[in-house]
Chains A and B, each alone.
Chain A
Amino acid sequence: MNHAPLAAAFVADAPRAKWHDETLWFVRAKRDKAAQSVPEWEELRECAAQIKAHTVSRLADYLEQFEREATRRGAVVHWARNAAEHNEIVLKLLSDRGVKRLVKSKSMLTEECHLNPFLERHGIEVVDTDLGERIVQLAGESPSHIVLPAIHKKKEDVGQIFHEHLGTTAGATDPNYLTEAARQHLREKFVQAEAGLTGVNFAIAETGGFVVCTNEGNADLGVSLPTLHIASMGIEKLVPRAQDLGVFLRLLARSATGQPITTYSSHFHGPRPGGELHIVLVDNGRSDILASDEFRRSLNCIRCGACMNTCPVYRRSGGHSYQTSVPGPIGSILAPSRNPKMFYSLPQACSLCGSCSDVCPVKIDLHHQLLTWRRELAHQGLLSRSKRLGMQAMSFVFRRPALYRLAGRVARWLTPLLPRFMIYNGLNAWGKQRELPDFPAKSFGEQYAERRRHESQRNS
């Protein structure tokens, strides 16, 4: 299944698609306000991009330094080449200690690794504790956005899900009431849990610690009650120095939701007294992206979601239509790196408006990379048949100037005479939901030649 039909299904519910679009634009507008309140915003973006470029240029050294420092502080560092290894490491940590109940804070990496279904198959109860993630987990869905996992749900949907699973009053839709019900339900889960798992927003090579950012405090509660804390992190999450966090923490929440900083920015260094801290470093294709001059900068991503909130295509097609743990512009770059055959349609969805590159706090040239992916996928022969045939026909015509001029002349004469059904049908994707512009009487080439003729007459 590719992106376009899934997006078409989402857009079919017009009022809902409009609401989705407006909700995300509201977040984008908050981001603009927050960014404009920082006079040195561009300087921060530039610093962030430079820090990331430097880090990946010496990534192996920094990973070793991180491991050394983390170990010195009493953490245990594990390495996983892929999702399967990551999941096995987590399972072993849990089963060795007889853990049956795990609370998780939001981690896109564990979504990428499909950790939840894996652990559940092995008899472990996994509870996502971020409210948005809990909503989609109870609904049997995946997050549709990396920062706002349940952004596609209306409060009526949440009311229905909570009524079924948490026993809230039927028909209740008040966010205060529903959040309170979730608070009571999740507090129970926090108290019962025998282990807590968090993602990692930033890891510091210099100190061997890491930072987790949440507004709810769920990561902190999840790892403060049980004795076992597992942190799953992609190897690209490193920064060299603690002071680099000053740059990234100023950018992250402002770009994500327009907040000056998340409510909790927690710095973990080693286990707490009597506890255990395990950090799982995951590659899962990241070292391959490192090799590519075109796509390396996609590793800069700090998962703020700003590119999704601003993307006209994402806002109108819904996160689930991307079928990947990270959707939107950045997801459309990362997913084909992992599996071009499966995700070939994502870069085609881009309108190349460039808005994602404008808002990206770490200056990833997202729309350039999406365009590069299109060329790359065409080289790999991964275009749909209609696109491929269309491109071949265009190329045939464009390489023959006389034929091109003739075709233009015929089209300008013929098209206005044709009945509607011959222009607006399945063969003309451009005519869907929009009218073709009127054909001009003369082509640009003819107008240009005429003008040149007049000018030379005047000059002679």
Chain B
Amino acid sequence: MSRNEILKSIRAQRVPTAELPSLDRTWLRFADPLAQFESQLAGVGGRAVRVRSTDEIAPILNARPEFANANGIVSHVAGVAANCDLATIADPHELESVDWAIMPAEFGVAENGAAWVTDERIRHRAIYFIVQHLALVLPADQIVHNMHEAYARLSVGSSSLGVFISGPSKTADIEQSLVIGAHGPRSLTVFLVEPA
């Protein structure tokens, strides 16, 4: 059996022991993590918008023609109206015609402008990737400084999919020219809801 042969072959090799380092130390921190998050996100082609409450999101989106003229809209954020309910869709292929998704994110990472989302309580994980435009909503006070703090607070493996999303889908495979909108969302907007 291949499994046992591989394990046997590995165990037969004499490999010197080496300690696992502790990662419990002080890593990169920022004076203003929120501002750092915003500038990093802008640097990777995303857009951050500060709002005082989720009620402000719908009017901001409505002012954008690609939202006002959108076909399908999925929203898991209170106060943003949708015309497509993931729970009633049997096959994720049907999401191809959905133009927008407005989804909650758990927290953001200042050092790279990434937001953490999962497929917990979300019927079709494809929604994050198949829509033309994605908006994520996260509390502005939930920005950690760096990736070490990110892993310290999230529970890896608690859902079948967890993703750091940093900016819209992009590619530079043709002569290193950056093109936004490869397969997935053509834009990423992160709404940062400031604490009341």
Contact = CB atoms under 8 A, between A and B. Distances in A.
A283 interface: yes
Contacts of A265: 114, 163-164, 166
Interface string A33-70: 00000111000001100110110110110011000010
Given A64-B7, A131-B182, A247-B23, A262 B173 contact: no
A290 B18 CA distance: 14
A242 interface: yes
Given A51-B20, A149-B173, A216-B170, A176 B179 contact: yes
B152 interface: yes
Interface residues of B, number: 74
Contact of A220 (B6, B129, B146): B129
Contacts of B114: 261, 265
B129 A283 contact: no
Nearest to B181: A183
Contact of B2 (A40, A79, A158, A207): A79
Contacts of A257: 172
Given A23-B176, A53-B18, A60-B10, A73 B23 contact: no
Nearest to A46: B21
Contacts of A301: none
A131 B184 contact: no
A250 interface: yes
Interface residues of A, number: 94
B179 A175 contact: yes
A27 B175 CA distance: 11
Interface in B44-103: 44, 92-93, 96
A266 interface: yes
Interface in A159-197: 175-176, 178-180, 182-183, 186-187, 190-191
A225 interface: yes
Nearest to B173: A132
Contacts of A150: 173-174
B156 A267 contact: yes
Contact of B173 (A40, A135, A240, A272): A135
Given A220-B163, A243-B148, A287-B9, A80 B182 contact: no
Contacts of A384: none
Nearest to A269: B157
Given A250-B146, A263-B168, A269-B159, A63 B21 contact: no
Given A60-B7, A63-B10, A150-B174, A47 B184 contact: no
Contacts of A243: 23, 148, 151-152
Nearest to B40: A260
Nearest to B5: A81
B128 interface: yes
Contacts of B109: 261
Interface in A264-296: 264-273, 281, 283, 287-288, 290-291, 296
A327 interface: no
B166 A217 contact: no
Given A50-B21, A264-B164, A131 B157 contact: no
A258 B166 CA distance: 14
B27 to A, nearest CB: 6
Contact of B161 (A60, A155, A216, A267): A267
B18 A50 contact: yes
B35 interface: no
A447 B148 CA distance: 59
Contact of A261 (B16, B159, B164): B164
A430 interface: no
A208 interface: yes
Contacts of A63: 6-7, 10
Contact of B13 (A39, A53, A204, A291): A291
B164 to A, nearest CB: 4
A155 B175 contact: yes
Contacts of A81: 2, 5-6
A379 to B, nearest CB: 21
B10 A290 contact: yes
B112 interface: yes
A267 B163 contact: yes
A286 B26 CA distance: 35
Contacts of B96: 187, 191
Contact of B184 (A85, A153, A158, A220): A220
B9 A283 contact: yes
Given A224-B124, A263-B166, A175 B14 contact: no
A191 B129 CA distance: 13
Nearest to B128: A220
Contact of A264 (B12, B148, B159, B165): B165
A148 B173 contact: yes
Nearest to B165: A264
Closest 8 CB pairs of A and B: A217-B184, A132-B173, A224-B126, A260-B112, A216-B182, A242-B156, A207-B157, A53-B18
10 contacts: A50-B19, A73-B157, A175-B175, A175-B179, A220-B163, A221-B130, A224-B92, A240-B20, A260-B112, A264-B184
Interface of A: 23, 26-27, 38-40, 46-47, 50-51, 53-54, 56-57, 59-60, 63-64, 69, 73, 79-81, 85, 129-132, 135, 148-151, 153-155, 158, 175-176, 178-180, 182-183, 186-187, 190-191, 204, 207-209, 215-218, 220-221, 224-225, 235, 240-247, 249-250, 257, 259-273, 281, 283, 287-288, 290-291, 296
Interface of B: 1-3, 5-7, 9-21, 23, 27-28, 40, 43-44, 92-93, 96, 109, 111-114, 119, 124-126, 128-130, 146-148, 150-152, 156-177, 179, 181-185
